[in-house]
Structure 1
């Protein structure tokens, strides 16, 4: 913002002269969220000299711009950044992903950007807007008094919990304010990482874009849950929440606010879970979305020094427009696509196979696999080959776990039991693109840097958390480039026999013959590019 008072999704921009570091990334595609709205306030005081000086740094058309300028107007500077994520999503979903089909209502300002020429309703109005304003002021008052405070956002699925959490975090950002934290409890559609994990996020810059465009590559304060819903293992889920609450209490300033974005499960076991979470976090404030057509959760308050705790605010559920993508599987796919798109050497999904993988020896890692049913040990490489995995850190491999190496072989990985292992800290995610049983090596593609991988000692596969299929079938090659080599020993033959079941996962068969090991381009040549993690 060059001039004026402007607010977008709760964040108030600070006006100032042009500077490269003042740009803030915003991505609000038409298909997955409301447009980014920039509200200019009427109390902007027109300062002709200041506006002229800032515009002259950027354009010669100062006079024509000032002809349209009135008191209360603001000046915003936009710059297009066509990222790899944008390129890949447009390639997969087309232009309609970013722009409305009805161009009569829009002024196109670029291939991926349009300005609406109609009056678009605000994000919140009526009692919901009033409740949000009151809640924000209550949180700020607590922080001004030097007190940590906790706010839980509760509501049924698709009622607007995640958007409100972002708006509150943006509203709490400021020069002289402690940074807010978000505890993202939604394992199916997390805000800033792929599904299957729970994260504590320290917010230092505004969250103005849609979640797929805010994916972090290197994760911190993130723990692996391994599922996309929490109804099967509530105890492990609560263990992770306790760990992350401890992280907040130990790492944050004494006046920092914590915003908790809960999952959209409000009845049955979900209501019992919310009861447990209220006991665990003991929040100061709760915001509850009321769904007029679905189930709602009633917050139980207790009297503390004559005051009810937590203080509860209510708002109406936000209805999603029909044109927006709302299926859970599609939204999960978008998050994984955005994360792995950053690995592509050039901005197209077709270049995914050209990314040079890292190699890791079997003996240097443990593996953890969430499955619906148990599987024989000699199926393990079939289960892991060509799968999306979390790259995790196990603080200490004890002697008992060391004794669980596959087949009792010291050169094989350790197989961890998901029900008997401590919560695993996630560093990032990757894709096992090949298994070499002769060299006993996994080949892993990941957008992480080598320096970020030094601690990784567990490959964890989640349940129903997979790389979208178009990464596998859209490669410009004659055969899919996930290859393994076969040895003649009966032991290796037994393992390779199970690898043949990959066709069950609807992926192309790989080439098993030694003479066919090279596809059009060698998978890991030259070897000095392949390094150990």
Structure 2
């Protein structure tokens, strides 16, 4: 038997170790220890024999099928074959039985020759879901799961995998590159979570923009899920949220691996509060109070590891927010990502924090929320880990199509709205063809979070907009007309909807939302924020002739006052600072 070298599967090697069954439309791939497959596209992966790893998560035979998403908007996924944990297996006999279920006789014999000690066999199947169908219905996103222009020269074509919606990539494309400090930090945190800790591990991940915080967190979550059933996740990044549309702060329990970018695993967190903006610079106190409110909802007796995500704002007030967060929460580890040999802000060591000033805290300060100090003793110190990211393009925002941060936000929102599509295969139904809920004006309050709007203009602002579906603690008291809020409350949010019309004569809101009707009954507040619907939703409305609803070109941004007024509530006047 020929000697198989570890490395990237590409070109002729893929033809030798992969076979496709055209009748069943799937492919079987035999991989040797440490061989990798880097690809663009999407598929379902089932491990039939041995073990493979994707983004830190180990997939073994006998487990369920897992969806893999490798779109052009993010770093391509890599499937890596691992060494088998059983040295006593009769690899040929078992492999032959497995291959017989999925391939023709000729294909079986060809692949059986490739099976060796510690081989892994995986089944790859095409994937079409309401999410992928909905995204592909937009012209600008039709190539989302294809290689971007920069990778076309490295794309491996005409392999058994290409017809499944996968495009293998050559070794010139690195995929996720982990530096030594990156691996060391992952190992240190995982070891601490598996060891004997006094209470649960609380890991705060911070760093400037475009250093790979989200990818680091997804990898960490996946590795932890190899050893525990769930991981808690506190979202503190308003602009690049993991499980919700942008503008949300949330607390989630993660039970399934994250094998794709955020828009591929949108879900409803256990607790969520709609902040309404992709940045908190205009109201720092509300941001911190919202995070505190979420933390209070978590049972302090839980021993599940907690990961806290933060914004890429690490200078000025942004850095002070990080100082506050480390003091407010019982943090056991601070992972600080940087690049180029620096963290672009002072290292957040326990020693530094003893003299650092936050927005709400000043030294000396408590290290946990006041109400927890009696029943919960926070650690007096924490482990500080510095990670130097070394992937291509680190520190700069992607300039290719689908790679900018605003596009990522739109993808997450479109993914959320894809839940409105029927689960059965079929043509995509545009949003304006769906039947909305009719909600009486007197049943819910309407508020605007991000700016001040006079009552007479409230309905104009809310029409054809995204709204958070929220639950106020008190009953709505209507005097027969609409209820308008003068201040933005901090209250639970159960999901989102599109306010696609307002009937002033009958006093009705027309609302599209994927939220279950049993949950909608609890909603008594609609909150409008600065998170707008993707333009593709408005401009791609098939079936209309002439002027498109909600769209106008009769507007000039050159006029004085045409743009929005920016208010910074976190800035203090000289008189307030004692100057």
Q: Does 1:117 align with 2:196?
A: no
Tell me the distance in 1 between the aligned counterparts of 2:555 and 2:428. Answer: 23
Aligned length: 466
Name 1:191's counterpart in structure 2.
Answer: 242
Does structure 2 retain, via aligned residues, the 8 Å contact 1:367–1:416?
Answer: yes
Change (3 A) 1:32 1:205: same
Q: Does 1:477 align with 2:543?
A: yes
Name 1:233's counterpart in structure 2.
Answer: 283
Secondary structure of 1:39's partner?
Answer: strand
Among 20, 32, 38, the residue aligned to 2:79? 38
Q: Does 1:412 align with 2:502?
A: no
Tell me the distance in 1 between the aligned counterparts of 2:193 and 2:317. Answer: 30
Secondary structure of 1:192's partner?
Answer: coil
Q: Does 1:139 align with 2:190?
A: no
Among 214, 217, 231, the residue aligned to 1:165? 217
Q: Does 1:385 align with 2:463?
A: yes
Name 2:139's counterpart in structure 1.
Answer: 92
Does structure 2 retain, via aligned residues, the 8 Å contact 1:391–1:459?
Answer: yes
Among 283, 299, 316, the residue aligned to 2:388? 316
Q: Does 1:258 align with 2:325?
A: no
Tell me the distance in 2 between the aligned counterparts of 1:149 and 1:286. Answer: 11
What does 1:406-445 align with in structure 2 at a 5 Å threshold?
A: 410-419=479-488, 421=489, 423-445=490-512
Among 232, 235, 242, the residue aligned to 2:292? 242
1:412-445: CA deviations, max 9, x gaps?
23222335x3x12111111011111111000001
Q: Does 1:271 align with 2:319?
A: yes
Does structure 1 retain, via aligned residues, the 8 Å contact 2:336–2:343?
Answer: no
Tell me the distance in 2 between the aligned counterparts of 1:348 and 1:267. Answer: 48
Secondary structure of 1:271's partner?
Answer: helix
Q: CA deviation at 1:157?
A: 0.8
What does 1:25-64 align with in structure 2 at a 5 Å threshold?
A: 25-29=67-71, 31-43=72-84, 45=87, 47-60=91-104, 61-64=107-110
Name 2:32's counterpart in structure 1.
Answer: none
Does structure 2 retain, via aligned residues, the 8 Å contact 1:95–1:112?
Answer: no
Does structure 2 retain, via aligned residues, the 8 Å contact 1:366–1:459?
Answer: yes
Q: CA deviation at 1:471?
A: 1.3
Q: CA deviation at 1:368?
A: 1.2
Tell me the distance in 2 between the aligned counterparts of 1:348 and 1:332. Answer: 25
Tell me the distance in 2 between the aligned counterparts of 1:447 and 1:93. Answer: 24
What does 1:441-520 align with in structure 2 at a 5 Å threshold?
A: 441-463=508-530, 465-478=531-544
Does structure 2 retain, via aligned residues, the 8 Å contact 1:212–1:335?
Answer: yes
Unpaired runs of 5+ in structure 2? 1-46, 355-366, 368-378, 558-579
Among 233, 255, 269, the residue aligned to 1:182? 233
Change (3 A) 1:480 1:450: farther
Name 2:440's counterpart in structure 1.
Answer: 361
Q: CA deviation at 1:219?
A: 4.2
Name 1:215's counterpart in structure 2.
Answer: 266
Unpaired runs of 5+ in structure 1? 484-498, 507-533
RMSD across aligned C-alpha pairs, in angstroms?
3.0
Q: Does 1:69 align with 2:115?
A: yes
1:332-379: CA deviations, max 9, x gaps?
11111111123245876662211111110000000111344x333222
Considering fraction of residues, name the structure with more helix: 1
Q: CA deviation at 1:79?
A: 1.7
Secondary structure of 2:518's partner?
Answer: helix
Change (3 A) 1:76 1:500: closer
Q: CA deviation at 1:214?
A: 0.9
Does structure 2 retain, via aligned residues, the 8 Å contact 1:199–1:221?
Answer: yes
Secondary structure of 2:67's partner?
Answer: coil
1:78-119: CA deviations, max 9, x gaps?
221212322333333255421224165324523632122326
1:426-476: CA deviations, max 9, x gaps?
11111011111111000001122322311111111112x111122122212
Give the TM-score of the pair, scaled to structure 2: 0.74
Secondary structure of 1:37's partner?
Answer: strand
What does 1:322-401 align with in structure 2 at a 5 Å threshold?
A: 323=400, 325-344=402-421, 351-372=430-451, 374-397=452-475
